[in-house]
Structure 1
Amino acid sequence: MNKTASSAPTQPRRLSIHQRIMLFFAAALSLIIIALAISNYRISSSIFIDKTIDSTQQNLVLVSEQLNLMFDNAENYAKIAIQNQTIQQTLIAASAGTDSYSDYQRYITVQNALSSLADGKSFVNAIILYDMNHRIYDSGGIDGITDVSLPYFDRFKGSAYGIAWDGTKPSNYYRDYRQAKVVSLFQRFNSQMSGAQLGILQLSIDEPSISRQYANVRLGDTGQLFIVGPDGEIISHPDSNYLNTSIRDQPYYSIISQRQEGKTFLMNGKRYLAVSRPYERMNWTIVGIVPIEEITKDKSVLTARFTALGFCFVLFALALTPMLSKYAMRPLKVIRETVKKVQRGDLDVTLNLHSRDEIGQLAVEFNRMVSRTKSLMLRSVEEEKRRKELELAAIQAQINPHFLYNTLESICGLAELGRNDDIIDLVNQLAGFYRGVLSKGSPIIAMEEELLMTQRYLDILKVRYADKLEYRFDVDPSMLQYRTLKLLLQPIVENSIYHGLKNKRGKGRIELTGRIEQERMIIAVEDNGMGMPPETIQSIFSARNGPDAKSFGLKSTDERIKLYFGQEYGVEIRSVPGEGTRVTITLPTRQAGRLTE
């Protein structure tokens, strides 16, 4: 019997991962290209519309920025006007007394100054000043002015720096025998010498100046761009025939009122795209209208080009498949390591991935997120520092007028007594004190300068309080090399005098000591004044206490120290009613020594 040898069944060849990736990409990309070729024509309109929406939104953002720039410039010009020395001096003189001739001369002086300020500012239609006696001054070229300042006198009452924008209204004056639609800025006008209110300034911008801000912005060939108010009335349009007309009856009004990103609508048998952007500063809405047929006119050409490009991409992708399989995980590893660095607090890292796929997009968004986070953190710190410096400026503003007035009063008293040498000494002390306060605007000074400024402050007050005040400084000389925050000690000393020693019977004493312990500067200001109970000390550092004179300087000093050096440093108060108060300031030596201006 013959036996026939049977061969073993052959095993199917297994594909490698590399081959699987190539086959997968070939099949997937082929299907994608076929699907794109079929559906591209259908979806290209949507793509064009989306791109037009994005482009239009960018244009609307540009218009918004242009409007902001114009309104910011208007506010800056208003500040320049109210700080003009000619105007300041003229209105101060007008508040002292008046007669018809002087009024006329002052009117001409102020008008010339305002005209000079408005000259060359194309968007400034008029500048008007209303003083406290309801006299009206203007920049010239207008007449028939109606006084509209009364509501703003009431509105700004009790506010040191009142400012408000009034929406588009007919002007309260005539230029070339007609009224114009204007937007007006109203700002409180104070004396730079006394801080007293001198009047209200009005700066008006007419509608053509507004429409010029977007005159060069194009939405295709026939698209329109205009601005509507909260009531749906067109307040700015390149074509003046549309001004003051309402769009409430237009089919796109609901799209705008609901603040949708971009929607199409049907009007007169044609489809249009409506895109809007709220302009919160004036409660306006910027509107863009574009015909759909203009958006999609190049759709067929784009479809053919897109299909050809897709097939080229398939061939290119198949050629790069081996490299893709090898390097597919490399970007993910880079992202993982970078994320770990961010988790450790390093916000200076950057993902240098320049691919255009999802990983590349993720890297771009990640970099933006890290950059935005870092920027927000830095901005928060800078804003907090700025806020503290403004509080310091407020303290200086409290020091300057009253302290200078009292010192000048003391100088007058010495002059009556014929004590010329004491007058010279007092004036030198006063000059040295204010030289230290100003310090070229820098918040950082040497500890030696801070102590010298505090000593001069006390020497000046000794003249006023005569035998009721004495002081003693006992400071480690090694502390003088370090730098510290300006006006750190003066508010503490001032608080000791005015709230501790002023009402005390007998002689008041202040002792200022300074020493270095464990790389920290310990500065103590101690008085034998009235003292204060524990609940008063607690209220000084409470977040809910009001900005009264007794607490403002101490709390502000404590917050400034913590802001610059950390929460472990600051101000500590110990007091016994009837016996006195000890205020201790703790500062780091190393950090203070490295502070730069």
Structure 2
Amino acid sequence: MRVISRYLSGISIKNKIFISNILIIVISISILAIFANIVSQKAIIEKAVNNSSRELVLIDNNLQTLLFSVEDYSKILASDFRLQSVLYNDFLSKKMVDYKPVEGLNNLSMNKTLSETISNIVEPNTKIKAASILTASDQWVDVGFADNRFAARVFGSFNETSDRTLLPAWTGLIKFRFLYEGEDNVFAVSKTVIHKDTGKTIGRVFLYIKETVIASIYESEINYKGGEFYILDRNGKIISSRNKSNLYQDFKEVTSVSNPESFQENNNFIQGSGARKVLVSSHLFEPLHWSIVSVVPVDEITVERKEINQLIIRIGIVCLLVALAVSFRLSRSITRPIFQLSKTIRKIRTGELDIRSSYQSTDEIGYLSEGFNNLMDRIEVLMAENVEKQRTKAEIEFKLLQSQVKPHFLYNTVETIVSLIKLDMKTEAISAAKYMANFYKISLSKGHDMISIREEMLLTESYLEIQQLRYVEYMEYAMDIDEEIMPYSIPKLTLQPIVENAIYHGLKMNKEKGLLRITGRRCGEDVRIEIYDNGAGMDEIQTKAILKEVAGDGVGSGFGARSVHNRIVMLYGYKYGLEIESVLGVYTKVIIRLPLLVPQEG
């Protein structure tokens, strides 16, 4: 220490400042690089975990949609009157003393009737590969070229008392043979056919869904190179994967993940070391007790961090070289202002973003100080604007995701269909099912946020037709849309939340049957769509509050309209959005204004 002190005392102040500045800059850049490396790695890992969790939730939602769709088809098929009639006649024939297997023209007639019944629910009409019917006399009838002999070996013979559950039952992944395509990996869904009048078990329905249909749900969700999705059964066996050679194998043996038992709940963890370190995320698919698992190499996740580190090193080298030249020549003249400015910067680095440099001068340092203050002012404004935009965007996207899937609407519609079937209103039940399928087909729209006004009107019409079946005593509706505006674009699910509010908070509040009317016109370079109902209406306070942050008396009645309004404003500016006119007890009119834009093809 004495040697160092003696050496420092023998050099000029200029050199002392120069050396000190160099040391400070080197240390600062190093600390910043280390801190940035740690923070960036943590942020990138957290981002990857959140992305994986969202992907698994989306896959879960799509799997549930597929599961409910297939089960609904099995229920519809099992309750079809033609199928029940043929199976019941076969059942009665088997009970006769002189029973003989159905042969010749009678057998062909039965096969033809059953084939016509089930042909509408298999490819290409649905994602179901094939369907089979097992009669009480152990005869198999198929559509989709299922191998009946193979089905008989897999599922056995008819047993009247073996399975009387009303719920469809899923098998695990099995190899199944088709007549002209050979063996394929499928999931089978079986449904016992119970005669609606006698309660007798008269047959079984089997639907076959290829594993590739399940895999197609998540193949487009992979965001990282080298990442993989797996679906496991409750025993940890792989039942779906992009790599078909992994099917039927133990997940632990394929991936070397040591604790697959944790997949019985939603979980995220990192395992391994070096180049074999992976991020494992799991989500429990509760209806079938399957586990959806994503495995992503950590190296692929942290590619961004490597780029950040290289950028920090390059910037650090440039800053160090500049500091060497400037500090040596200007150390005496700029010591004080630089100290003040660096002090301000250190405070900002600690999070005090409202701190500004107090140094004022007409020289370059003064100009730098003023420019620095202006830059920080602008950054602070932009950060505030960005936070607000991100908050609004997240709220709108979350509400849109809810609107796309709407489980309560699905359950209510399915209950309506079941009720119509019980009332022997099969035509109405079929119509309701078609409208529900059309609603979800358009609302999903391959993930596109923008659709044509024609598609939006078809979606809204499907929704209204279903609601009219449920609330026929409350409402009737009319739609009058100019053909001229049909090709133009509209944010998906713009009308449905407004129409839903009109029904539940307008028409249903009245004792008499009401009218809901939708009209659409072109106004100059804009599109004007009006939703009118002669329901309960609103007073002036409710009308003004409906589009604000806090919605009057009911958050539910205002949030849908407010979300639609915010979404339109964010996309097109404050010139567009919603306007509301209402008179308490008389009517409510919601006016939607949009620009004339043609949707882009995705």
TM-score bracket, normalised by the shorter chain, equals 0.3 to 0.5
Greater gyration radius: 1
TM value normalised by structure 2: 0.46
